[in-house]
Amino acid sequence: MLADKRILLIIGGGIAAFKSLDLIRRLREQGATVVPVLTKAGEEFVTPLSASALAAQKVYRDLFDLTDEAEMGHIELSRAADLVVVAPATADLMAKMAHGHANDLASTLLMATDKRVLIAPAMNVRMWEHPATQRNLATLQGDGVLVVGPDEGAMACGEFGPGRMAEVPEIVAAVSAALSDGPLKGRHVLVTSGPTHEPIDPVRYIANRSSGAQGTALAAALRDLGAKVSFVTGPASVPPPAGVAVIRVETAREMAGAVKAALPADAAVFAAAVADWRVENAAAQKMKKDGTGRLPSLEFAENPDILAGIARMGEGRPRLVVGFAAETERVEAHATAKRARKGCDWIVANDVSPGTGIMGGAENAVTLITEAGAEAWPRLSKAETARRLALRIAEALA
Ligand code: C5P
């Protein structure tokens, strides 16, 4: 909830500005006060009247209007907010921010504010990928500016690729995370999730039944406690949560690389169902029946154990390393042995034997194995299991 939060929303000049009107409504639904600021270009896409009516606030547009009226100076306007949101953040606005321009109301507010700034970039894919924009992005991130999106997809200009503004629920989640004073604020937590796909040839692969539901719920719960979450996911059947950094991978080896690249982290939770083996003789071209009735034979190689690798990495190891164990019998004994074998701090064990309905289902019944022993938790929704686990992680990192 965003009750009593005041958000200064700068609407830049891009076609995605129409979504910013909905953003105003959704933020207000959460209890926030939204004060809109329109750039000159923004006014070409949405009218001040629409923004003002939806926000139930005066809309600010002109630097000199503010100064002349002395009603509320730009310094005061920029500081009265709890968070400054720029949506859409155009290539031009990002460039101005990165270089410290202050030649209109929006850029001056961004220079004068003492609050956090969250940008939702939106632009043509070429403009997004242009080295100048990527340089500006790196500068802004270095300055502590928070970034949500852009998403990949079809764009109004007819091209396809990254550059679409993040969807409104994702921006609302990022706003909540930015304003959250949760116990994990300032912490970085890495979560792996979903199955991996190990190719046999370019069109076939070996996979498993993991839906990614528990890992996704956990990433959302950690985000809700204020953590910055890096979510490394295989091809899951549930979408990743909003407001986390999503890194998509297919194979175990790609997952291992993505995990290393996402470090350092304060905690790492390995909820992914990683394939133990990959096909070593995967074919470069689609395998064909050769008419002789002979069957192809697959050779397997062992995949890297990502959890064990991180748990035993020595310097740079996250303070808390948590593994999952999906077992079908003698859950506690197997999971306790696994904790020792992998070198992790905790194991979250569950019984995935077919009768339980846990794999791919909405509920989970876990046993948490720590140094102190085993704790059996009641059968709970995956969301509640995630919330309790996130709270325990927060306690451990406190
Ligand atoms: O050995 P097992 O697959 O049962 O261990 C499960 C735990 O190890 C999970 O946390 C899983 O994410 C992790 N794991 C991994 N890399 C592998 C295999 C498992 O990170 N190659």
- Compute the distance between CA of residue 395 and CA of residue 398 in angstroms, rounded to an integer: 5
Catalytic residue among 1, 132, 157, 333: 157
Q: Find where tokens 């959890």 sit.
A: 307
Is 157 a catalytic site residue?
yes
Does residue 111 sit in the same domain as residue 130?
yes
Does residue 232 sit in the same domain as residue 363?
yes
* 7 in contact with ligand 1, CB cutoff 6 A: no
3-state per-residue secondary structure call for 141-192: HHCCCEECCCEEEECCCCCEEEEECCCHHHHHHHHHHHHCCCCCCCCEEEEE
The count of C-alpha atoms lying within 13 angstroms of the C-alpha of 287, restricted to the half-sphere facing its C-beta, is 13
Q: For ligand 1, atom 5, which residue shows the shortest CA distance?
A: 325
Is residue 244, in this structure, part of any structural domain at all?
yes
The pLDDT assigned to 71 comes to 56
Does residue 332 sit in the same domain as residue 266?
yes
Pick from 271, 222, 253, 262: which is nearest to 396 by CA? 222
Does residue 89 sit in the same domain as residue 224?
no
Element at 88 (helix H, strand E)? strand 83-89
Does residue 169 sit in the same domain as residue 289?
no
Percent of the chain with pLDDT over 70: 97
CA distances from 193 to 239, 266, 269 (A): 11, 18, 9
Q: Answer with the one of 133, 149, 179 that is the final residue of a domain.
A: 179
The total number of structural domains that make up the chain:
2
* 389 in contact with ligand 1, CB cutoff 6 A: no
The pLDDT assigned to 295 comes to 85
The pLDDT assigned to 360 comes to 66
Contact 121, 147 (CB under 8 A): yes
Average pLDDT for runs of 10 along the chain of length 398: 92 96 97 96 95 95 67 80 97 97 94 92 95 94 85 79 92 89 92 98 94 93 90 94 88 98 98 97 91 89 98 96 92 95 96 75 88 92 90 96
Structure token pair of residue 309 = 């690798």
**What does DSSP say about strands 346-351 and 366-370: parallel, antiparallel, or unpaired?**
antiparallel
> Which one of 270, 359, 369 would you pick to mutate in the ligand 1 pocket, going by the greatest count of ligand atoms within 8 A of its CB?
270
- At 158, the amino acid letter reads G
Q: Compute, in angstroms, the gap from residue 324 CA to the centroid of ligand 1.
A: 7
The pLDDT assigned to 283 comes to 93
**Domain span at residue 346?**
188-397
The pLDDT assigned to 182 comes to 85
Does residue 97 sit in the same domain as residue 217?
no
Is residue 1, in this structure, part of any structural domain at all?
no
The pLDDT assigned to 319 comes to 98
Q: Compute, in angstroms, the gap from residue 274 CA to the centroid of ligand 1.
A: 6
The CATH code of the domain that includes 57 is 3.40.50.1950
Q: Compute, in angstroms, the gap from residue 210 CA to the centroid of ligand 1.
A: 12
Q: Answer with the one of 162, 179, 196 that is the final residue of a domain.
A: 179
Contact 358, 351 (CB under 8 A): yes
* 325 in contact with ligand 1, CB cutoff 6 A: yes
The CATH code of the domain that includes 357 is 3.40.50.10300
Residue 118, SS3 per DSSP: strand
Does residue 211 sit in the same domain as residue 118?
no
The pLDDT assigned to 279 comes to 97
Is residue 362, in this structure, part of any structural domain at all?
yes
| pTM of the predicted structure, to 2 decimals | 0.67
Pick from 75, 74, 1, 62: which is nearest to 32 by CA? 1
* 307 in contact with ligand 1, CB cutoff 6 A: yes
Residues 137-165: b if buried by 16+ CB within 10 A, e if exposed = beebeeeebbbbbbeeeebeeeeeeebbb
Q: Compute, in angstroms, the gap from residue 27 CA to the centroid of ligand 1.
A: 39
**What does DSSP say about strands 116-121 and 146-147: parallel, antiparallel, or unpaired?**
parallel
Please report the DSSP string for 248-260 in residue order. Answer: E--SHHHHHHHHH
Contact 342, 353 (CB under 8 A): no
The pLDDT assigned to 70 comes to 58
Q: Compute, in angstroms, the gap from residue 304 CA to the centroid of ligand 1.
A: 9
> Which one of 191, 214, 307 would you pick to mutate in the ligand 1 pocket, going by the greatest count of ligand atoms within 8 A of its CB?
307
Contact 87, 147 (CB under 8 A): no
* 306 in contact with ligand 1, CB cutoff 6 A: yes
DSSP E strands: which ranges in 300-372?
300-302, 320-327, 346-351, 363-364, 366-370
Q: Answer with the one of 149, 179, 209 that is the final residue of a domain.
A: 179
